[in-house]
Chain A
Amino acid sequence: MNAVLEIQGVSKRFGGVQALAACSFSVEEGSITSLIGPNGSGKTTLFNTVTGYVPPDEGEVRLRGEAIERLSPDRIYGRGLGRTFQQVRVFPRLTVLENVLVATSRSSLLHAALRRPRRSERDQAMALLEFVRIARLRDVPAGSLSFGQRKLLEIATILVGEPKVLLLDEPAGGINPTMTVQIGDRIRELNRRGITFLVVEHNMEFVMSMSDRVVVMARGKVIAEGAPGEVRENPKVLEAYLGA
């Protein structure tokens, strides 16, 4: 197995807060890796640096061997790394179908200005909506979807760019158990099709059942990593969560 995403010595300071302190770990190709840790341990900041929203102060991020830590979010997306947001983000006034069509998948601006979405793109978008099972809502403004439906829409949107790696920020947060099962099922199916996942999640049942590997962060650095069973037994992890 080789690492598809490598994070090496990434640091980020916001004023007096050291959000990330020389954080290093890597994500194996084809795996579902979970990133856990107490609130404020730097998980979302790490997501933001990896996806280009927040430039790191120090350190390197490599996607399939290429340095990406200085690229803008749209470039990083273009290289096959997609993300979802903790507070689900859809385009509320666009329809569900339009939300998916926005994802441009590497077309130039001139190209975009000159043409309407092609039939094949609409078909692809509809196929993705079918995949997450919200196709019947295609013409509804995304702002009127339920929270769980928005999460599914967000995943469908990200998939347009045919990402190799997906970063999901709390996919099971704030939704009911049935929807959690449905989202977990879709993640596994995408993983079978070759997409690597890095998932931030607080729902431990979800983490333990889904992950190949678990990375634990506390105070901006990695304190433990390994198979779900190993991590669960690690005393450092318990300490970090219980605040001993």
Chain B
Amino acid sequence: MKRPSTWLIAAVALLAALVYPFVFSSTEATTIGFFALLYVGLAASWNINGYTGYISLGHSAFFGIGAYTIALFATRLGLQGGYGLFAVALLGGLVAGVAALPLGFIALRVRTMHSFVIITIAYVMMLQLLAYNLESITNGPNGLGVPQPAWSGAFFNIPFYFAALVLAVGTVLLSAWIRGSRFGLGLMAIRDDEDKAAGVGVDTWKYKLTAYVISAIPIGIGGAVYAYFASYIYPQTVFDPTIDLGIVLSVFLGGTGTILGPIVGALIIQPAQQLLTLYTGNLGTAGWDLLLLGALFLVVILLMPSGIVPSLVERARRTSVREAVTKADETTPGAQTAVGGNGTS
């Protein structure tokens, strides 16, 4: 991560992101850019919890909480649309983080992956039901509006695009920081062998809960920014399992446990989905995009099961590792295994 070429690529990518909305200034192009960057943020944030290997299919719970936070806050306090509402979006992240504490507390009690996945899905369903039924607060199925800014025409998307860019860059930096810290090392140790991690002094329960809570915060902010952009939210549009699928698909496509993976994944999937919706929407058949994404996902699982980024890295590394292990076996007396080639392949 420290090599200058990495920083150079990051700088070029950031520069490209900065000039993109001015080069491609149509509303369609900036909308695609907005969603792509929003999902980079969501996927990178999800991946912080993903470092532990616990797959959550319920982080849209925090997306929805963030969305409802900004809608309720703005309408109840009679706030006007404008740049100030982006600050309220941060509050969405805070509320999501607070909500993640009890939710994580319960979900992380289980030690089997299947139960964890099911519980997290249940959270989305539960919150969606609550949003439907707590009508006095959420306005039920009629949804809530967010005050709109006075920006007009093609410019309308620009502030949202940059808000999503800030969210994406901030979350990726946070994720990278955590991955390089001792905390991150502990999380990945939990992914590899939770009992063993406890055996070398990692407080696994506290680590997992902390990662879960941290990963909820940028997603809550993302939900709030989305609600502001969409101008109106309904229970089924923000507590939405397809948001979870979008996030998880991005991370898996790019590669779990890596910093670059969620970025690559989200930048492929979101534009693809938006373009497909844009160009197949008038064919009268909804769902073309999901069908093609499913096919893409299958191809990746078949050819690169660990995701694009790790597969490419692994290909480059495999040869050098094999050489190193064999060399060490030759030079360290008795370092060979007696129980048949455990993993040098």
Contacts and interface: CB of A to CB of B under 8 A. Distances in A.
Interface of A: 51, 53, 72-74, 77-78, 82-83, 85, 89-94, 98-99, 101-107, 109, 111-117, 133-134, 136-137, 139-141, 143-150, 157-158, 160-161, 174-179, 181-182
Contacts of A149: 328, 335, 337
B332 interface: yes
A98 B189 CA distance: 9
A161 B201 contact: yes
Contacts, number: 166
A109 B197 CA distance: 14
A87 to B, nearest CB: 10
A174 B337 CA distance: 8
A84 to B, nearest CB: 9
Contacts of A179: 334-336, 338
Given A53-B195, A74-B198, A109-B207, A176 B181 contact: no
Interface string B184-222: 011011011101111111111011001000000000000
Contacts of B183: 109, 112-113
Nearest to B322: A144
Contact of A147 (B191, B204, B337): B337
A14 B178 CA distance: 40
B342 interface: yes
B182 interface: yes
Contacts of A51: 199
Interface in B286-340: 321-322, 324-325, 327-329, 331-339
A154 B215 CA distance: 31
Interface residues of B, number: 46
A52 to B, nearest CB: 8
Given A93-B188, A141-B321, A73 B338 contact: no
A134 B185 contact: no
B153 interface: no
Residue of A83, A112, A143, A175 with most partner-chain B CB within 10 A: A112
Contacts of A109: 183, 203, 206-207, 210
A143 B343 contact: yes
B200 A147 contact: no
B180 A113 contact: no
Nearest to B203: A74
B112 interface: no
Residue of B191, B199, B341, B344 with most partner-chain A CB within 10 A: B199
A112 B182 CA distance: 5
Contacts of A145: 325, 342-344
A94 B192 contact: yes
A115 B188 CA distance: 16
Contacts of A141: 321
Chain A to chain B: the 10 pairs with minimum beta-carbon distance, closest first: A178-B334, A146-B337, A91-B192, A176-B338, A103-B200, A113-B183, A112-B182, A73-B198, A89-B196, A147-B337
A113 B321 contact: no
Contacts of B198: 72-74, 77
A102 B203 contact: no
17 contacts: A74-B201, A82-B199, A90-B196, A92-B192, A93-B257, A94-B185, A102-B186, A107-B182, A113-B182, A113-B183, A115-B182, A117-B185, A140-B324, A141-B321, A148-B338, A160-B200, A174-B338
A89 B207 contact: no
Given A94-B189, A148-B335, A182-B334, 6 more contacts: A72-B198, A77-B198, A85-B196, A91-B196, A99-B189, A103-B201
Contact of B202 (A92, A102, A115, A178): A102
Given A102-B202, A176-B334, A147 B325 contact: no
